[in-house]
A and B are shown apart, each in its own frame.
Chain A
Amino acid sequence: MLSLFAHLSLTPSSRPDNPTHNPKLHSNPTHLRKDPILTRQQNEFDLAGKNYSGAGASPEEERSSIPDGLRRELMPEHVAVIMDGNRRWARMRGLPSGSGYEAGIRAFRVLVELCCKWGIRVLTVFAFSSDNWVRPKMEVDFLMNLFEKGIKAELDNFMREDIKVSIIGDPSKLPTSLQRLIARVEKNTKHNTGLHLVVAVNYSGKYDIVQACQSIAQKVKDGLIEPEEINESSIEQELETNCAEYPYPDLLIRTSGELRVSNFFLWQLAYTELFFSKSHWPDFGEADFVEALVSFQQRQRRYGGYK
């Protein structure tokens, strides 16, 4: 609860949701929401020596893995995170930026573990924006190296924990070795059925829309579609986030107190609940995540319509 004091949140306005509110009454205008209890497959996961078993878990074990204050049926299907504040975190401690990024990787691992444990279906993280190329070359090279090492180190974990990995963004500017590694990890994990981890690297919301238009253009050129037939749905089907079962985030978390989305998921965020946390990304832990989820579960999501 103390973390609530530190939370640079948007002005709280909505009263708590009725705890008996049935999420199945929500209708997302763009995709069907599935019953999280009937379709969720939990991963076998070892945390602090305790196994959280998958399909064979007893109801008590399932309930006990969710922190008090959260309800499993109100958990978001898709959580997106803008992992901001690594450099500021390092600067505050008199450390180089690299240390901030490395600490950020540890926070990222914790978040992945929690998502697996709590039945979140899709986790998207904004790792590197196409606007970040203007940073010093040394820093960018360090980051690319860190991605490569991080992915290699976690590949076995992804397989063991049944995590499917997808990378979205423009891969053409990435180092060749990283491109090859991305292709390998996507191929190796493509049949996994647990958490879908989507990592946005060299991604931009505008680029996503542009590449969707380019895909449609190819279809127009091939005579598969007439220009007059192009509508909102045509573009939505070509967005990179369509690789996920739940392409649109239910909850977006941005750390380090900034109140903007910085060119991330522009199209997809129309009805995404926004949560801005004051913690810098390396400090974002279980308590902060619980706070974000509690806040999400309290909100009235109306998808733009009337109550």
Chain B
Amino acid sequence: MNWLTSIQDPIIGKDLYSKYYYLWLIVIWHVVHFIISIWYCALRLAETVESYLISSGLLMWNKTIDTSRVQYLAIVLDSEEACRTSEVIKLLQCIERIGLRNICLYDREGVLKKSKDIIMEKFSRAKLFEEACTTATTLLDKEPFTLEFVSFSDGKEAIAQAANYIFTNYHKSRYQKDLPCTESHIDEALKATGYGQPYPDLMLIYGPSRCNLGFPAWRIRYTEMVHMGPLKSMKYGSLIKAIHRFTMVYQNYGK
């Protein structure tokens, strides 16, 4: 850099210095991100090996999972991932094999809702969550395997509808002085408008983004969220590991 700064014309010298400095920053940025990419590749390799060990029974986690801790599991899929119906079915088969019974499938665009019939066909014991409720089964029943299909319209729009429901009743009733609008009123309004599904204990997110993609906000207060990567890379071992980890978590609920 010394010869640059010694250039006779200070303006040209300074400009060249800036450009080289900027180039160096770009190089450093690429190097840092390359190192991080290598790190992530190594992590993926470790996960693959671990997953193989779990699937083959060499690691005994799948025999020690307390599935009763996962009363309700949410699977959040990026809409592109949701189009891969065969992989979604493979995922559900793994979950059924683990012993979990109540699954909520979410994707923003509602792709899974369109594939509902194809998915339901593959699980002879599966019922839709709404049907399971009306046939007086409870969530604690081992049979059947319940599936709920949810999209963005069941989230924020549902809250708006619940609010509309509360306000419409309030508007109609001239005798109420105080508006009945607390958390429990919204819970009741959600149930009344058909959105009173359970709160998931665990949420597994498949896709490139590590966010819940608009999953119904009212239901995720204490939901554990685990990002699982792309659906095409789904491994039985990773699933076991995520669920096993959840069963070991202690929640103090703010205490």
Binding site for B on A (CB under 8 A): 1, 4, 10-16, 19, 59-60, 63, 68-71, 129-132, 134-135, 205-207, 209-210, 213-214, 216-217, 220-221, 227-228, 230-232, 234-235, 258-263, 266-267, 269-275, 294, 298-302, 304-307
Contact = CB atoms under 8 A, between A and B. Distances in A.
Given A15-B37, A19-B33, A231-B160, 10 more contacts: A60-B21, A68-B25, A68-B29, A70-B29, A228-B164, A232-B156, A271-B214, A302-B208, A304-B78, A306-B79
A271 B211 contact: yes
A273 B205 CA distance: 12
A143 to B, nearest CB: 13
A40 to B, nearest CB: 19
B157 A266 contact: no
B238 interface: yes
B210 A275 contact: yes
A301 B43 CA distance: 22
Nearest to B163: A213
B225 interface: yes
A205 B224 CA distance: 16
Interface string B122-159: 00000000000000000000000000000010011101
Contacts of A132: 254-255
Task: List 10 tightest A-B contacts by C-beta distance, closest first.
Answer: A131-B254, A10-B227, A13-B229, A69-B32, A270-B214, A266-B217, A304-B108, A227-B167, A12-B40, A14-B208
B61 interface: no
A13 B181 contact: no
Report the contact-size class of chain B (Cβ under 8 Å from the partner): 35 or more
27 contacts: A4-B36, A11-B43, A11-B227, A13-B233, A15-B37, A59-B18, A68-B25, A131-B253, A207-B183, A209-B218, A210-B182, A210-B183, A213-B166, A216-B163, A217-B166, A220-B170, A228-B168, A230-B164, A235-B159, A261-B223, A267-B217, A270-B211, A271-B209, A273-B211, A294-B32, A300-B208, A302-B208
A interface, over-half SS: loop
Contacts of B37: 15-16
Given A16-B33, A59-B18, A131-B253, A270 B213 contact: yes
Contacts of B211: 269-274
Contacts of A235: 156, 159-160, 163
B228 interface: yes
B217 A205 contact: yes
Contact of B167 (A60, A206, A209, A220): A220
Nearest to A214: B181
B222 A263 contact: yes
A269 B108 contact: no
Contacts of A294: 32-33, 36
A263 B182 CA distance: 15
Contacts of B109: 304
Given A11-B238, A231-B160, A298 B36 contact: yes
A10 B76 CA distance: 14
B218 A266 contact: yes
B58 interface: no
A228 B167 CA distance: 9
B18 to A, nearest CB: 7
B221 interface: yes
Given A210-B186, A213-B186, A263-B222, A274 B163 contact: no
A235 B181 CA distance: 13
A221 B233 CA distance: 53
B35 interface: yes
A44 to B, nearest CB: 24
Contacts of A13: 207-208, 227-230, 233
B114 interface: no
B227 A213 contact: no
B220 interface: yes
B179 interface: yes
Contacts of A300: 208-209
Given A234-B160, A294-B36, A302 B209 contact: yes
Contact of A209 (B186, B208, B212, B249): B186
B69 interface: no
B32 A68 contact: yes
Contact of A19 (B29, B44, B209): B29
Contacts of B39: 1, 4
Contact of A274 (B170, B210, B233): B210
A286 to B, nearest CB: 15
Contacts of A307: 80
A176 B217 CA distance: 32
A130 B233 CA distance: 39
